[in-house]
Amino acid sequence: MSTTQLLFSEKVRRFVKRNGSVVIFLILAIIASIFVKNFFALNNFLTIIKQAAIPIIACLGITLVLMTGGIDLSLGYTLGLCSITVGLLVKGVGLPIWLSIFITLLVGLLVGFINGILVQVVKVPAFIVTLGTGYIIFGIAQIVSSGSDINRLPANFRAIGVTNIFGLNTTVLISLIICVVMYYLLHHSTFGRSLSAFGFNAKAARMSGIKTERLNISVYMICSFLVAIAAILLTIRVNCAQPTMGGGVYTFEVITGAIIGGASLFGGIGTVIGSVFGVLTIKVLENCINLLNVSYYTYQAFQGIVILLAIIFENVKNRRL
Amino acid sequence: MKKTILEMNAITKFIFDEHGQPLRGTTVKILEDVHFDVKEAEVHVLVGENGAGKSTLMKIIGGIIPADEGEMLLDGEVITFAGPRESLAHGIGFIHQELNLCLNLDVAQNIFLGRERQKKLFIDKASMYTEAREMLLRLGFDIDPKTMVRDLSTAQQQIVEIVKVLSYDCRIIIMDEPTASLTKSEIDKLFAIIHDLRRNGISIIYISHRFEELKEIGDRITVLRDGRYIGTVDIEDFDYDKIISMMVGRKLGAMFQSSHQVQDEVVLEVKGLRISRNTEPINLYVRSGEVVGLSGLVGAGRTELGKSIFGSRTYYGGEILYMGEEIGGLHPSNLIEKGVIYLSEDRKLEGLVLDMSLKDNMTMASLKRMYPKTKIDFKREEVVAQESIDKLNIVANSVEQICNTLSGGNQQKVVVAKWLLTNPKLLILDEPTRGIDVNAKSEIYKIIDQLASQGVAILMISSELPEIIGMSDRIYVMKRGAIAAELTDKREFIQEKILSHTL
Amino acid sequence: MKGLKISKKNLLIIAIVVALFIILGSLIPGFLSIKNLLNIVRQSSIIAIVACGMTMVIIIKGIDLSVTGVLSFCAMVNGLLLLKGWPIPLAMLAGLAVGTLMGLFNGLMVEKLGIPAFITTLVVGNVGGGLALLLNAGKSIGGFPAPYVFMGNGTILGVPVSNYIMILFVVVTSILMSKTRLGVYIYAMGGNETVVKQQGISTATINFFVYGFSGFCIAMAGILLSGQLDTVHPTQGEPYQLDAIAACVIGGVSMLGGEGKVYFALIGALIIGVQRNALNLLGIHPFYQNIFVGIIIIVIVALNIHQKRRTIEHSKIF
């Protein structure tokens, strides 16, 4: 009797420790429901989920990268590159939709491959590599698009992201599927286990027979691949392909989500549920700021303070435990 | 009779837990009741096997760690050092084996780091250079104080360190294996300096493994063994065999059992492997069901050899054959699949992922074999881990316990469990019993014997001679990156004999 | 031996610069005119001032990614106060104080919490960027007092005032690094932190100073830029992040820490400035320039790391 109780409390403690962002999210949501007018409404919740769906995809990508102890500062620019790529292919070149999407995803994979090779093989620190490639990618996106946006995308292309199936928006649905896949990958497959081991102790992982070299490169590729998916969905959502879509601000937002979600900056730790609720937390904040009619810019500054608190909190917690 | 300036009595240092707190309850002690003294203007040599406690004793003198019990007297007064700076302020300088210099600064800057000569707001470079130059010249070295330390040879860097220590007006200088990386002519220069220093009334505590050096510079020799003080000998009474017998002479317990039979099949064969550009090629072989001991001093290249075989280090030419197949340069993951494993000497950095659970660590090397479809079967994993816990008598709350919170012995057993789960055919064990208690040791010996009986080939690197002698069917001794001797006759397995090959 | 190596490296940089000028001079009419050259230096001054602080940060194995946000924010604070009628020195002081405080905060996070420099500076930069937008609801400001604009655009004896300020920064930083205790400690910390601690030198002082100084330099650059343009735009700092790092890297400041000279970072800044100016004159779009700078950073850092690894490999002996 007492042992099962103990186990249960232990389980709760572990859940809270691992998924602190769920708790943060719930507390924030309750506070918002009480104090912010119009917050507690089904429609508003659906809006939040819709807004979170796309960043969640990218956030799961950066979560993997953070778990290796690396970082991808080029994320936002990759988003822009993929956005303009898919826009150009679909509307400018007029390729079939499936082919355009396929090529865009390949572009994402290629960016990730280059980042991964530079980090793993050339051994340049990840923040330098991705800072550099970020600017390069941004430049390429601008050149490809000649600096202009592509508006009014074909309806059959947009249908991918804006159709409703069983009352659920396809974008949300795709995001959900990706969450499930990533959950399996991270928490139920040897990939996730290897990734954790690599992030905590690369040497021991390699000497235990984990192909750390391949793993490290693949993580950057998965990240950019997910970013490419996010880019396609976002392009559909705003009905406009822009080279400036994403950018540094987007990178930052996604990293914030992962860190609130408990991903460690030193590698090894990261969860799907954590990151999902990390993004939801930011989106609730954004939503409240909207509802309260405060300037959007408050949100941007506020977000930085939230991430700082998350980092400090994480640090203090780790020292205690 | 020279005056005694430093005296240490009944010094004891316990092993410590992961928080750095001493564990007083155990019988394992790093230092136990050690006596040591230094006289004015003498070179006092400290010898002992790896793990005898020499470095720990020196760290206590150097103020880097405190003693748990016992007292230290400087000029007859009891003294304790809160840190290396305090020890330095009392005239005790410590020259570490790993030199403590900033390679990107010049000689003078290194010597004066932290107490630069000032001229108003700015540092007074001119006077620092002159002073540094004088100090160097006083020792007979014409090194330009403006040279970057990185551009100096190791010996010259050592000289800079000596000058730095001397500039603090040190009366006692601790030198931890200063000749380890020096050439013959550089060693001669160093010895000339040591003679000079002694003439000027400075005492030197000198740690070395090289016996040929001792007679040349030592005045007295103190021997430590297993953390205990064995005795001090005047250099006039120096006798090679006597010192060696003081260093060894441990009783072989009944811990070792041998039930395995060596078979004919050669599992591992290393041909002409060089672990570095300037070392002799290594040849060795291990047969099925054989335990081969690899002895030698720390830094003799044993770990490097092990890692070279296990694809974790670049080596310079040669062949590594496993069951007749070349495996040189393969990734550890391929080697593990083939049945080759390497148990690292560094449990915390290379053996375990300390932040992960027992079960995660145990299955880490067998992920591919256990889950070919990559889906983890948590139930099965738990069962497998629990079996290992029972089999190896691991003391843990559950399979979910984080390895960080386990004791050293249990951590080592987790590593062993990890490797056993891979069904190895060739084990390279690097210090398999380092830092673990007696019970765990004997259990690990039992496992090694059992594995050998099943026909597994074992190459065991160890610094503990009783272990090497007790377990091995054959022994290789390494020295300076090469095999110095191979002992095949069990009657030759005598500590003195092995030790004489390593020195 | 080493002296030779350094001079070889320096010679290479100088040779590249000379070659660059000859090629560009023959390609672009008017490139080598005094006026254009002074203009390049004026444009480079922003990069060079940021690079002064960045050099120090990289020497202690850190990085400052807060340039974009902090630069814009400090300029905005200073600009708004100017428009409110504050005296110029007071407004500037406020801007500089803000930058320094943000830098100090970075130092605090690095020293006390052990948070990687690239994260804390990234976060602080983003907070700064957000605040810059927030302060004036995302709108630009301009129309500053004439003496203020003179600081950015005016000339004394035919040389832009900006250049004097830049030279002041470079010289002061350089003296600090080579002639004071603190400078020696900064290098020492980049070379071997253990030794620094062993000698009883406070790493906190070094971290606080270095990151604080970097914040100060960024703020100064922001203020000077607003003077040059007579405008503060809340995202004005954008290009200077990469350019400042590039200037350091080109100037031979090693990402592995412990090495680098401010004078060479200045040359790096000038090279970046020349590159931007020449490509502009050639009618090449800034997008290409970003790609170019990004590639340069990665390549130089990669070469640097490769070289270091080889020396370690070669120094292995038994």
Which residue reads 């560094």 in tokens? B346
| Least CB–CB distance from B123: residue in C2, C184, C199 | C184
Question: What are the DSSP calls for B348-362, one per residue?
Answer: IIII--TTSBHHHHH
Mutate to test the interface with C, among B88, B104, B110, B120 (most CBs of C within 10 A): B104
The Cα–Cα gap between C150 and C240 comes to 22
Residues B45 and B59 in one domain: yes
Among A128, A133, A295, the residue with its CB nearest the CB of C301 is A128
A window 229-268, beta carbon within 8 A of B: 268
B113: contact with C, CB 8 A cutoff: yes
Q: Does the pLDDT of residue B458 top 70, yes or no? A: yes
Lowest mean pLDDT among A232-236, B397-401, B450-454: B397-401
B326: left (phi over 0), alpha (psi -120 to 50) or beta: beta
What residue of B is the nearest CA neighbor of A196?
B356
Please check whether residue B96 lies inside any domain of the structure.
no
Write down the pLDDT at residue B254.
Answer: 60
From A188, which residue of chain B is nearest by alpha-carbon distance? B376
pLDDT of residue C73: 95
Across the range A124-129, mean pLDDT stands at 91
Q: How confident is the model at residue B404 (pLDDT cuts 50, 70, 90)?
A: confident
Q: Which element (helix H / strand E) includes C29? A: none
Residues B376 and B491 in one domain: no
Q: How confident is the model at residue A19 (pLDDT cuts 50, 70, 90)?
A: confident
H/E stretch holding B499 reads helix B495-502
Q: pLDDT category, C180, cuts 50, 70, 90?
A: very high
Q: Give the residue from B247, B274, B308 where a domain finishes.
A: B247
pLDDT at C83 over 80: yes
Q: Which pLDDT tens digit goes with each residue over B286-317?
A: 999 999 999 988 778 899 999 999 988 888 88
Distance CA C274, CA C196 (A): 39
Least confident of A113-117, B413-417, B437-441, C99-103: B437-441
% pLDDT > 90, chain B: 27
| Among C201, C313, C318, beta carbon nearest to B114 | C201
Chain C residues in contact with A71 by the CB 8 A cut-off are 118-119
Q: State whether B3 and B78 are in the same domain.
A: yes
Q: Nearest-5° angle of CA B87, CA B88, CA B92?
A: 80
Q: Are A300 and C126 a contacting pair at CB < 8 A?
A: yes
Q: What does the pLDDT read at residue C59?
A: 95
pLDDT in tens, A218-227: 999 999 999 9
Question: Shortest CB distance from C195 goes to which of B101, B181, B301?
Answer: B101
Query: Using one digit for the tens of pLDDT, what is the confidence trace for B61-108?
Result: 888 888 888 888 888 888 888 888 888 888 898 888 777 888 889 999
pLDDT in tens, C11-22: 777 787 788 778
Angstroms from A119 CA to nearest CA on chain C: 10
Whether the pLDDT of residue B145 is over 50: the answer is yes
Which chains touch A (3+ CB pairs under 8 A)?
B, C
pLDDT of residue C239: 85
| C190 vs B84, B104, B151: nearest CB | B104
B109 in contact with chain C, both atoms CB, cutoff 8 A: yes
B358 with B444, same domain: the answer is: no
* Tokens (6 digits) for A245: 């879509």
pLDDT category at B233 given cuts 50, 70, 90 is confident
Amino acid at B371: Y
Tell me the C-alpha distance between A214 and B341, whole Å.
21
Do residues B418 and B434 both lie within one domain? no
Q: Look at residue C318 in the predicted model and tell me its pLDDT.
A: 54
Burial class, C150, CB count within 10 angstroms (exposed 0-12 / middle 13-18 / buried 19+): middle
- In this prediction, residue B1 carries a pLDDT of 61
Nearest chain A CA: its distance from B365 CA (Å): 5
* Cβ-based contacts of A140 with chain C (< 8 Å): 287, 291
The structural domain count of chain B equals: 4
Q: How far apart are CA C74 and CA C222, in angstroms?
A: 6
Q: How far is C306 from chain B (nearest CA, A)?
A: 16
Mutation for testing the C interface, residue in B64, B81, B102 having most C CBs under 10 Å: B102
Under 8 Å CB pairs connecting chains A and C tally to 121
Quick check: A209 and B368 CB within 8 A? yes
Q: Is the pLDDT of residue A103 over 50?
A: yes
pLDDT, average across residues A261-280? 90
Give yes or no for a contact between B417 and B394, defined as CB atoms under 8 angstroms apart: yes
Burial class (CB in 10 A: 0-12, 13-18, 19+), B140: exposed
* pLDDT range class, residue A230, cuts 50, 70, 90: very high
Q: Please, what's the b/e burial string for A244-264 (b: 16 or more CB within 10 A of its CB; e: otherwise)?
A: bbbbbbbbbbbbbbbbbbbbb
The pLDDT of B169-194, averaged and rounded, is: 82
For residue B347, is it within any domain?
no
Question: What's the pLDDT at C6?
Answer: 53
Instruction: Single out the residue of B84, B51, B60 nearest to residue B7, CA to CA.
Output: B60
* Residue A196 contacts B where some CB pair is shorter than 8 Å: yes
Domain map (residue ranges) of chain A: 38-320
Cα separation, B13 vs B30, in Å, equals: 5
Q: Do B12 and B76 lie in a common domain?
A: yes
Residue A91 contacts B where some CB pair is shorter than 8 Å: no
Compute the radius of gyration of chain A from its Cα atoms: 20
Q: Is the pLDDT of residue B356 over 70?
A: yes
Q: What pLDDT does residue A187 have?
A: 92
Nearest to B105 among C180, C188, C198 (CB): C188
DSSP string, B291-331: EEEEEE-TTSSHHHHHHHHTTSS---S-EEEETTEE-TT--
Distance from CA of A46 to the nearest CA of C (A): 27
Residue B448's pLDDT band, with cuts at 50, 70 and 90, is very high
Residue C316 pLDDT = 53
pLDDT of residue B47: 86
Looking at the fold, whether B33 and B160 belong to one and the same domain comes out as no
Comparing CA positions, the residue from B167, B182, B42 lying closest to residue B99 is B182
What residue type is assigned to position B167 of the chain?
S
Identity of the residue in C114, C130, C255 whose CB atom sits nearest the CB atom of A300 = C130
Number of other CB atoms surrounding residue C57 within 10 Å: 31
The H or E element containing residue C78 is helix C67-83
Give B-chain residues touching A194 at CB under 8 angstroms.
Answer: 367
Q: Which residues of A touch C310 (CB under 8 A)?
A: none
Query: Could you tell me how far CA B435 lies from the centroid of its own chain?
Result: 12
How distant is the Cα of A187 from the closest Cα of chain B, in angstroms? 9
pLDDT of res. C313? 64
Number of residues assigned to chain B: 503
Q: Using the 3D structure, point to which of B169, B201, B218 is the last residue of a domain.
A: B169
Partner residue facing A298 (CB), from C134, C255, C287: C134
CA distance B182 to chain C (A): 10
Residue range(s) defining the domain that contains residue B431: 252-339+424-503
| Contact across the interface for A204 and B360, Cβ inside 8 Å | no
CB C88 within 8 A of CB C107: no
Answer yes or no: do B274 and B418 share one domain: no
Chain B within 8 Å of A210 (Cβ-Cβ)? yes
CATH number, domain containing residue B296: 3.40.50.300
Q: Which residues of A touch C116 (CB under 8 A)?
A: 265
Which domains are seen in chain C, by residue range?
39-303 (1.10.3470)
Task: Specify the pTM.
Answer: 0.86
pLDDT confidence bin for B439, thresholds 50/70/90 = confident
In angstroms, what separates the C-alpha of C117 from chain B's closest C-alpha? 22
Give yes or no for A203 touching B (CB within 8 A). Answer: yes
| C-alpha–C-alpha distance, residues C296 and A168, integer Å | 47
Percentage of residues in chain A having pLDDT higher than 90: 53
B276 contacts in C (CB within 8 Å)?
316-318
Query: In the 3-class helix/strand/coil scheme, how is A70-105 assigned residue by residue?
Result: CCCCCHHHHHHHHHHHHHHHHHHHCCCHHHHHHHHH
Average the pLDDT over each of A202-206, B45-49, C7-11, C212-216 and give the range with the smallest value. Answer: C7-11
Task: Show residues of chain C in contact with B118, CB under 8 Å.
Answer: 181
Does domain A38-320 sit in CATH 1.10.10?
no
Using the Cβ of A205 and the Cβ atoms of chain B, whether some distance falls under 8 Å is answered with yes
Q: Which long-range contacts (CB under 8 A, 24 or more apart) does B122-125 make?
A: B122/C175, B122/C179, B122/C180, B123/C179, B123/C180, B123/C181, B123/C184, B125/C179
Judgement on whether residues B149 and B10 belong to the same structural domain of the protein: no
Question: CB A135 to CB C137 under 8 A?
Answer: no
- Say if residue B449 is in the same domain as residue B300: yes
Q: pLDDT value at position A321?
A: 42
Residues B304 and B160 in one domain: no
Instruction: Out of C119, C134, C293, name the one closest to residue A135 (CB).
Output: C293
Whole-complex ipTM = 0.85
Distance CA B130, CA B133 (A): 5
Q: Match 């031979």 to its residue by tokens.
A: C252
Q: Are residues B134 and B237 in the same domain?
A: no
Residue of C nearest to A145 (CA): C287
The Cα B309–Cα B461 span in angstroms is 13
Domain annotation covers residue B225: yes
Q: What is the mean pLDDT of chain B?
A: 86
Distance CA B243, CA B234 (A): 11
Q: Specify if B345 maps to a domain.
A: no
Q: For the ranges B252-256, B280-284, C302-306, which has the lowest average pLDDT?
A: B252-256
Last residue of a domain, one of B423, B455, B482: B423
Contacts B354 to A, Cβ<8 Å: 200-201
In this model, does residue C96 exceed pLDDT 70? yes
Question: How far does chain B reach from its first CA to its final CA, in angstroms?
Answer: 32
pLDDT digits (tens, 9 = 90+) for B19-34: 556 667 666 678 888 8
Both tokens of B39, joined, read 């006289």
Name the residue with tokens 């390549």.
Answer: C299
Q: Is the pLDDT of residue C8 over 80?
A: no
Chains in contact with C, where contact requires at least 3 CB pairs less than 8 Å apart: A, B
